[in-house]
Amino acid sequence: MAAQVLSATFSKVLLNYQSSYAYAITNLGLMILPCFKKWLNSVNNRQDNFTLNDRRYSMKAMKNVCTCIHIHIYVYASIRRPMMMASDWLTKLRWCKERIGCTWGSGNKSSARIKNPHLRAKLAESLAVFLPKETEQQNNLFSYSFRKKAFLESSVVPKILPKSLLQLFVDIEFTGHTMEFYQKFNYRHYMYGILEYIWNIPSYHAEFKKLDEEGKIQYKRDMVFSSFPRFINLLINDSTYLLDEALQKEQNLQQYGYFAKNYNIMANETVHVLCYVTKDISRPFASPCMIDGMAAFLNYFLVHLVGPKRRELKVSDFQKYNFEPRKLVVNILSIYLSLGKEDDFCRAIVKDGRSYSTELFQASIELLERIEGRQDMVNEFRHFITRLDKWYEQLKLEEQEMPEPPDEFLDPISCVLMVDPVKLPSSGKIVCKSTISKHLLSDEKDPFNRSPLRLDQVIPCNELREQIRAWMLENKIDLKSFNRD
């Protein structure tokens, strides 16, 4: 109640304050920070035994106290009180600096504390404000070095922030809001900034790799996807949608200029995240449920950026609309090289009949040669194309020898030969395990009747699986080329 009164009082004063109020307001603000400290301690010391009333009170208290602090900072910055008072401020703010990362991470780690995904996403937006930026003016109350220490000096934050960030990234995919599809991109915009900054800090980077390993173990043990593979799948989905929308809007800039600019900004950020994640952690992208979608995504946009369709992207001022085709091409080709070390990924690329062609990759080489300082990448990509050519010849030979499979052996969703058929418990449909795995990464519902579904609930069809294998052996089809599990 007191926080609400303070918030209302501050709001009125802020609208009509004069210099005579300045000293009183500043001192009142100094009284608020200890309250904020006490509240953070109470929230941080409690685990997952929050009741509904606890959560409502805590969130209301946080909103009111933060409102008071924000207004106080604004007034303080406006009247520029003496350095003696500033030192008192900084003493209390240093404590907040040490606790803010822990509070943000623990609040986002479990939806039991904060069930509203929109409020959790707002916490990500607030954390983005603390990111150290060297380009900012140095007279900011929160200096570059001050904010940098908040991320580097804590031994707890690196252990909880990566997992919390990935979980929030996944959770906002389905918020229940009517505009959830478009709203999630605004939320993820702030998360990309946080992710890029902490990715280059060794302690955080090690935690991301640990999450990847834990995800593999959890999948093998429980047949359940952890937040890391779901995060990767959503990155691919977002990249596909955003880049496709951005390129389409480029063709109608007079009508869609504003939308094209926003889509370009988000597409550049999303593809950039894919670029540095695949460089360090490539294995999840080559998993059976992701590999074909990833290859199709890269091939499709390489056609638009390097192939004949690039002539349709006529823009008089690329910079005005944040359209950076060369940067996009370099990032996409970097992803090819990061994932191209896997034979299965090379096979998936050449198997994509919609977009793949040898001419397309030769054109990519020619573009790289025109970009200064990319000679090492050119040589590496030439070697990659040589590997693709060998896989393409092998695939053509297999297709010539392979007869048409019986209809009951085909996946009803992808229309390809099933290697590991499974039955969905509620709809009774039989699909390939890799196909339903891909679907469940984005939406944990049966695609045929929309009932809840997890991967560990599917029922193996061992008899049908043996029939398919017998048919493959009878027609001399290499089992290894199909079974990537």
Question: What ranges do the domains of the chain cover?
Answer: 114-224, 259-401, 407-481
- Return phi, psi of residue 427, to 5°: -85, -20
Given a cut of 80, whether residue 102 has pLDDT beyond it is no
What is the per-residue DSSP string for 23-46?
HHHHHHHHHHHHHHHHHHHHHHH-
Q: Report the DSSP beta bridge partners of residue 430.
A: 423
> Could you say which DSSP state residue 422 is in?
E
**Average pLDDT value over all residues in the chain:** 75
Contact, 329 vs 267, CB < 8 A? no
**Torsions phi, psi for 337 (to 5 deg):** -70, -35
Q: Tell me the C-alpha distance between 75 and 89, whole Å.
A: 13
- Comparing 95 with 428, the larger pLDDT belongs to 428
Dump pLDDT digits (tens) for 317-350.
Answer: 788 888 888 899 999 999 999 999 888 899 999 9
CA torsion angle for 119, 120, 123, 125 (degrees, to 10)?
A: -90
Which secondary structure element, helix H or strand E, spans residue 396, and what is its range? helix 375-401
Structure token digits, residue 461: 């069809």
Task: Output the pLDDT for position 42.
Answer: 54
Distance CA 387, CA 382 (A): 9
Provide the pLDDT for residue 13.
Answer: 41
pLDDT for the residue numbered 41: 54
**68-90, pLDDT tens digit by residue?**
444 444 443 433 343 333 334 34
Residue 240 confidence (pLDDT): 92
CA dist 277 and 232 (Å) reads 9
List phi, psi (to 5°) of 445.
-140, 150
- Of 401, 404, 388, 322, the closest CA to residue 351 belongs to 388
Of the chain, the percentage scoring pLDDT greater than 90 comes to 28
Residue 363 corresponds to which tokens in the numbers above? 């054109």
pLDDT digits (tens, 9 = 90+) for 24-75: 444 444 444 455 455 455 545 554 444 444 444 444 444 444 444 444 444 4
Predicted model pTM: 0.60
Question: Please, what's the largest Cα pairwise distance for the chain?
Answer: 93
Could you tell me the pLDDT band of residue 219, with boundaries at 50, 70 and 90? Answer: confident
**What is the 3-state composition of the chain as percent helix, strand, coil, each rounded to the nearest 5?**
70, 0, 25
Rounded to an integer, what distance in angstroms lies between the CA atom of residue 176 and that of residue 328?
Answer: 33
Task: In whole angstroms, give the CA distance from residue 251 to residue 216.
Answer: 42
CA neighbor of 234 nearest in space, from 276, 273, 177, 179: 273
- What local confidence, expressed as pLDDT, does residue 218 receive? 87
Question: Rounded to an integer, what distance in angstroms lies between the CA atom of residue 121 and that of residue 126?
Answer: 9
Q: Write the burial class of residue 378 (CB in 10 Å: 0-12 exposed, 13-18 middle, 19+ buried).
A: middle
| Higher per-residue confidence, 356 vs 11 | 356
Element (H, E) at 430: strand 430-432
Residue 444: how many other CB atoms lie within 10 Å: 15
Nearby residues of 220 by Cβ (< 8 Å), 6 or more positions away: none
- In 3D, which of 359, 361, 298, 287 has the Cα closest to residue 328? 298
d(CA 327, CA 350): 24
At residue 362, the pLDDT reads 92
Task: Give the pLDDT score at 180.
Answer: 65
Q: Other C-beta atoms within 10 Å of 202: how many?
A: 8
> What number is the average pLDDT over the span 136-158?
72
210, 163 Cβ separation under 8 angstroms: no
Q: By C-alpha distance, which of 435, 456, 452, 434 is closest to 443?
A: 452
pLDDT at 419: 87
Residue 237 and residue 275 in contact, taking contact as beta carbons nearer than 8 Å: no
Q: In what order do the strands lie in the sheet with 430-432?
A: 430-432, 421-423, 459-460
Q: How confident is the model at residue 457 (pLDDT cuts 50, 70, 90)?
A: very high
Report the share of the chain in percent with pLDDT over 70.
Answer: 70
CA distances for 262 relative to 231, 267, 315, angstroms = 22, 9, 16
- 260 with 321: CB under 8 angstroms? yes
From residue 14, give the alpha-carbon distance in Å to each of 23, 25, 30, 257. 13, 10, 16, 38
- 219 or 448: whose pLDDT is higher? 448
pLDDT of residue 75: 40
Residues forming a β-bridge with 422:
431, 460
Q: How many angstroms separate the CA atoms of 58 and 138, rounded? A: 34
**Closest by CA position to 227, among listed 109, 385, 316:** 109
Per-residue pLDDT at 110 exceeds 70: no
Which of the four pLDDT bands, split at 50, 70 and 90, describes residue 96?
very low
d(CA 215, CA 119): 27
Q: Could you tell me which of 135, 131, 144 has the C-alpha nearest to residue 104?
A: 131
pLDDT band at 135 (very low <50, low <70, confident <90, very high): low
**CATH code that applies to domain 407-481:** 3.30.40.10
Residues listed for the chain: 485
CA–CA separation, 346 and 294 (whole Å) = 11
